[in-house]
Amino acid sequence: MATRTTTGPSTARVPDGTSLDSPEYALVAKLTNVKPLVQLLKAIHFKKQTHCVLTHRGVKFSVEDSRSVQAHAYLQRQFFSEFRFGPHWHRGPLPNSSRGGGGHPNSAGREAEDTRGAGLGEGEEEEELEMVFALDLTVLLQCLTIFSGTAGNALAHSANTPANSLDGTGGVGGGIPGGPVGGFGNPTSAHARYKSNTSLGWVVNDKGSEVELVLEENEVISVCKLATFESEEITDFQFQVHPIQHRLIIKSDILRDALSELDNASEKITFTFSAHSPHFRISTVGMAGSTEVNFSKDTDIIESFYSAEPAQHAYRYNQVQHALNALVYSSKTSVRINQYGFLSMQFMIQADRGDACFVELLCAPMQSFEQLI
């Protein structure tokens, strides 16, 4: 990582003099406030490296551990004051672009010509064009918070959130989702009161081998350059392929408290669904005994509830606990389990101006993963 700090008014160029309209860049994006991006990345920061996918619809960050748990953070293009990617303005095909995934420019297949993105007319299949690479997530967060030294909260509380925006019918995998929803679950916390005025210019070179971040606050500009890495393929859980057996929408602060009360020495956590009260139960068994938290669908804690049949599903406790990172910033959470027991927890977070952003946690059940996919 290389950093440099300068002072003076912002311009349409990065400090080395290169115009942001230069064809040297595959992506040019600007955020008037960096906080939403920081919060999303902190919500998935349980691995050092993140898989990054750029499309004309926005940006998706993913992390995975042991092929059994993964988290995805989505920032749609409407969050950016400017977002230019791909052949809209770039001259020629992106070297590491693809329709089903992509390689890194430093991989063995770099020289293989890929012209599938060239010559697309407006309205043709350009929505499938993407650029894929990996970044050091820890270093990325350090750069994004270089002025504040820590990540404050960008997300404002909203008391009015339509439940049907979290009905679990659309899902967030395979693209950049959208939809108005949510707010910060605990507006009285220190995070909710944190304020920052750092803007971000984000450029990726045409080879996808370097990311340049231009951060500005009070006319002080800091430039960080990060080398990208070849991205390992993220496991396809095929969650959306199989029918949903259980689904509920619950207030995030309540779910956060419930997970925090469980025995953290437990190996597994069990979700139980029933047609009778308690309709939803979270339980653990540890050295000190069993702990359970019960919920009824007939309260304002749960906005919607569906269960095809009574069932129990067990997951590794330390994997489900990754949800706490996102629960801090979300107002409502959609919990879904498909017929093979895979768990999806979608967290909807609302930025100051009302746009919704998403984080999703996917967990495989405590069975042999290879037997389930």
Give the CA angle between residues 351, 252, 65 to the nearest 5°.
90
Q: Which CATH architecture has domain 2-227?
A: Roll (3.10)
Residue type, 48: K
pLDDT at 113 over 50: no
Confidence tier at 162 by pLDDT (50, 70, 90):
very low
Contact 206, 228 (CB under 8 A): no
Residue-by-residue DSSP string for 104-172: -TTSTTTTS---TTTTPPTTSGGGG-EEEEEEEHHHHHHHHTTTTSS----B---S---GGGGSSSS-S
Quote the CA–CA distance of 148 and 144 in Å, as a whole number: 9
CATH topology of domain 241-371: Proliferating Cell Nuclear Antigen (3.70.10)
pTM for the whole structure: 0.76
Residue type, 331: S
Give the CA angle between residues 167, 303, 290 to the nearest 5°.
105
Q: Which residue ranges make up each domain of the chain?
A: 2-227, 241-371
- Which of 194-208, 234-248, 305-319 has the weakest average pLDDT? 194-208
Residue type, 105: P
Per-residue pLDDT of 250-302, as tens digits, reads 999 999 999 999 998 999 999 999 999 999 999 999 888 899 999 999 999 99
Across 356-364, average pLDDT: 94
- Give 3-state DSSP helix, strand, coil % of the chain, rounded to 5: 15, 40, 45
Q: Which residue has the higher pLDDT, 343 or 94?
A: 343
pLDDT at 44 over 50: yes
Confidence tier at 149 by pLDDT (50, 70, 90):
low
Quote the CA–CA distance of 148 and 196 in Å, as a whole number: 8
pLDDT at 337 over 80: yes
